[in-house]
Structure 1
Amino acid sequence: MGGEPEQRAYRTESITVTFEARRCLHAAECVQGLPEVFDTAKRPWIRPGNATPERLAEVVRRCPSGALQYELVDGGTATPTGPPRSPEVPPGS
């Protein structure tokens, strides 16, 4: 098959961000929300160390397709502003 892996992970000591290209709708919520982290002109295009884990999680939750996900290193996925958005789990479930 070849090509890019289905899912890529970008890690810091505090947070891991995963990206699944085939799910991406190119809504650019990530690029607009944190251009210092999400820069499609650079490789790697996701640089999670350029923002706080809290701010990064906040922007990842805006991803309308769920192509971006995150996990805090301590095992949690919730932040003070709420749980991450996941298309597999409908709201209120």
Structure 2
Amino acid sequence: MKVTYDANTCIHAGNCVNSLPAVFKVVDGKFMIDQAGASDAEIRQTVADCPSGALQVIETDTPG
């Protein structure tokens, strides 16, 4: 899975940063997503809780 962020849609509620600061963070004034910081399930829940829909999960094919 890949998480995408739409800056034009974001209302800056801060839910993602407050819920999973190891994944969703601001570094040098830029919003960053580090998916290694939490489990897929935790990330999916935080994305689902995004009030604006600025965060989306895109399913990717994984070999195996």
Q: What's the TM-score, normalizing by structure 2?
A: 0.82
Higher helix share: 2
Aligned pair count reads: 60
Higher strand share: 2
- Structure having the higher Rg: 1
Q: Are residue 52 (structure 1) and residue 39 (structure 2) matched?
A: yes
Which runs of 5 or more structure 1 residues have no equivalent in the other structure?
Answer: 1-14, 75-93
1:29 match: 15
Encode CA deviations 1:42-62: one digit per residue, 9 max, x unaligned.
Answer: 667110111111110000111
Equivalent position SS for 1:22? coil
Q: What's the TM-score, normalizing by structure 1?
A: 0.58
Aligned-CA RMSD value = 1.6
Which runs of 5 or more structure 2 residues have no equivalent in the other structure?
Answer: none
Q: Which has the higher contact order (CA 8 A, sep 6+)?
A: 2
